[in-house]
Amino acid sequence: MNISTTQPLLSPYRLGTIELPNRIVMASMTRGRARNRGLTPTDLHVEYYRQRASAGLIMSEGIWISRRAVGFINVPGLFSDEQVAGWRAVTDAVHAEGGRIYAQLAHSGAVSHPDFFNGELPLAPSAINPQQRSFTQDGFKDTVTPRAMTVAEIRQTIDDYAQAARNALAAGFDGVELHAATTYLLPEFLNSASNVRTDAYGGSAENRARIVLEILDALIAVWGAGRVGIKIAPTVRMGGFGPTAETVSTFDYLVARLDELALSHLQVVNAAGDLTGTPVDVLQNTVAYYRSRFDGTLIANLGFDEASGNAVIASGGADLVSFGQAFIGNPDFARRIKDGLPLAPSNRDTWYQGDAGGYIDYPGAA
C-alpha cells in the first residue's frame, strides 16, 4: 500500500494564494544561534532552514521587531538592513528548495532584563514582575519589575511591528505570523493579571485586546490579510502569568474579531495539562473550542504526532498541524511521515544555545 497518498497530513492545502504540498507546518522555535552583535542570521540559519524546506510551511523562530523587543540572547531581529540581508539569504535558500517560510514577529515585553537595555527597565503593559527568567549574556537571570509603557510607547511599538513587517517583505518571506503565544508582550496585554492599565489599553477585554488588533491592522496594511496570521496559547502558564477568570471571555472577544479579518491563519496551542478546576477548563481541547469560533485556516499545535495529526485533519478539527520539537532532530520530518520512518531524538542541551552542533548536524533519514 502506498501510505503517502492516504495520509491527511500529506494532502495539499491552499493557504490563501499559496499552494502547500502538505499540511505539515514547522512551528516557531527559538534556537539562539545569532551569536553576533547585530543579532543577524548567518550561514548557519541558511542551512538550518534549507534543511527543513520540505515542510508544507515553515514558521521562523520568533524574530525581534526592534531593539526594545529583545529578551533572550542570540535571537535574531528584523530591524536593521543587515538583518534583512541575512533573512533574505534564508528565504532564498528555502525557496530554492521549493519551500515556503513565514516570519514570526516577537516582542518579549516583561520577560526580559535590564542587561539588554544598558540598565533600563524592560517595557510592559503594567509594572508587574512576570516572575520568570530571562536568558542573558551571563546566563539565566530573574526578571525584574518592568516599566509600564506610555501610550506614545505603545504607538511606537505598533510602528515597530509595521516596520518589521515591511522588512519581512523586503527579506522575501511568504507572510508573517504575530507571536501572541507564551507570555511575551501581547499575552501580557491580554491578561488581566499582567495588565492593570486604566486607559484605552486596559480594563475591558476590548481594551486589553486593542494593541493586538491595532498591530494586526498595521501588518495587514503591509501584507494584506491573507498573508498575516497569529499564534495564541490561552491556557499557558509561565512564572507569575497564567489564565484568569477573564481569559475565556477575553479570547472569545479576540477570536471573534480575528474571524472578521480574513487572516492567513489562526494557530492554536493546545492545553499542556489537565485544566480541571481551573478558570479555563472549557479550553481543555483548545483547538476544538476555537475551531467552532473561527472560520478561516486553523493550525493545531502542541504534542501532535503522526497519528493524532492525521486524525485531527481527517475529523475536520484543523486544516494544518504544526510540529515543533520533532523538527529539531528530523530536518526531513515530512519525508519520514511519508515513508513511515522512525523519528530521531534531539539533544535538549542545544535547543536554545550552541553553534552548528545540535542545529544543522541532524542527518536526514538514509
Ligand X SMILES: Cc1cc2nc3c(=O)[nH]c(=O)nc-3n(C[C@H](O)[C@H](O)[C@H](O)COP(=O)(O)O)c2cc1C
Q: Report the catalytic residues.
A: 184
Q: Closest distance between ligand X and the C-beta of residue 179, in Å?
A: 5
Judged by CB under 6 A, how many residues of this single chain contact ligand X?
Answer: 21
**Of residues 94, 232, 269, 360, which one binds ligand X by CB under 6 A?**
269
| Residue 324 sits in the site that holds ligand X (CB under 6 A) | yes
16, 39, 61, 248: residue in contact with ligand X (rule CB under 6 A) = 61
The string over 236-260, giving b where at least 16 C-beta atoms fall within 10 Å of a residue's C-beta and e elsewhere, is bebeebbbeebbbebbebbbeebee
Judged by CB under 6 A, the residue of 65, 78, 111, 181 near ligand X is 181
Nearest-approach distance from CB 133 to ligand X, in angstroms = 15
User: Can residue 351 be called a binding residue for ligand X (CB under 6 A)?
Assistant: yes
- Output DSSP code: residue 207: H
366: cell is 538514509
79 contacts 66 by C-beta, under 8 angstroms = yes
* 182: phi then psi, degrees, rounded to nearest 5: 45, -140
62 binds ligand X (CB under 6 A): yes
Q: Is 238 in the site for ligand X (CB under 6 A)?
A: no
Q: How far apart are the C-alpha atoms of 92 and 219, rounded to whole Å?
A: 22
User: Which residues contact residue 55 at a Cβ distance below 8 angstroms, ignoring those fewer than 6 apart?
Assistant: 22, 24, 25, 26, 99, 327, 333, 334
d(CA 177, CA 105): 6
Among 231, 265, 291, 336, binds ligand X (CB under 6 A): 231
Hey, what's the cell of 6? 492516504
The least CB distance from residue 104 to ligand X, in Å, is: 6
Q: Report if residue 188 touches ligand X, rule: CB under 6 A.
A: no
Question: How near is the Cβ of 65 to ligand X at its closest, in Å?
Answer: 13
Residue 323 contacts ligand X per CB under 6 A:
yes
Binding window for ligand X (CB under 6 A); candidates: 124-132, 155-163, 243-251, 295-303: 295-303
Among 22-30, 199-207, 248-256, 281-289, which window interacts with ligand X (CB under 6 A)?
Answer: 22-30
Binding part of the chain for ligand X, among 148-156, 238-246, 291-299, 317-325 by CB under 6 A, reads 317-325
Sequence-ordered alpha helix ranges (H) in the chain: 43-51, 81-96, 151-170, 185-190, 205-223, 247-260, 286-291, 306-314, 325-329, 333-339
Judged by CB under 6 A, does residue 27 bind ligand X? yes
CB of 192 to ligand X, least distance (A): 22
9 near 22, Cβ under 8 Å?
yes
- Subset of residues 116 to 175 that bind ligand X, contact rule: CB under 6 A: none
Which residue's Cβ lies closest to ligand X? 324
Query: Hey, which residues does 141 pair with through a beta bridge?
Result: 134
Instruction: Note whether 346 binds ligand X by CB under 6 A.
Output: no
The one-character DSSP state at 96 is: H
Assess 30 for contact with ligand X (CB under 6 A): yes
On the 0-12 / 13-18 / 19+ scale of CB atoms within 10 A, 1 is exposed
| Binds ligand X by CB under 6 A, chosen from 325, 335, 341, 354 | 325
Q: Which is nearer to ligand X, 143 or 270 (CB)?
A: 270
**Gyration radius (Cα) of the chain, Å:** 19
| Chosen residue from 7, 22, 28, 330 binding ligand X by CB under 6 A | 28
Residues near ligand X (CB under 6 A) are 27-30, 61-62, 104, 179, 181, 231, 269, 301-304, 323-326, 351-352
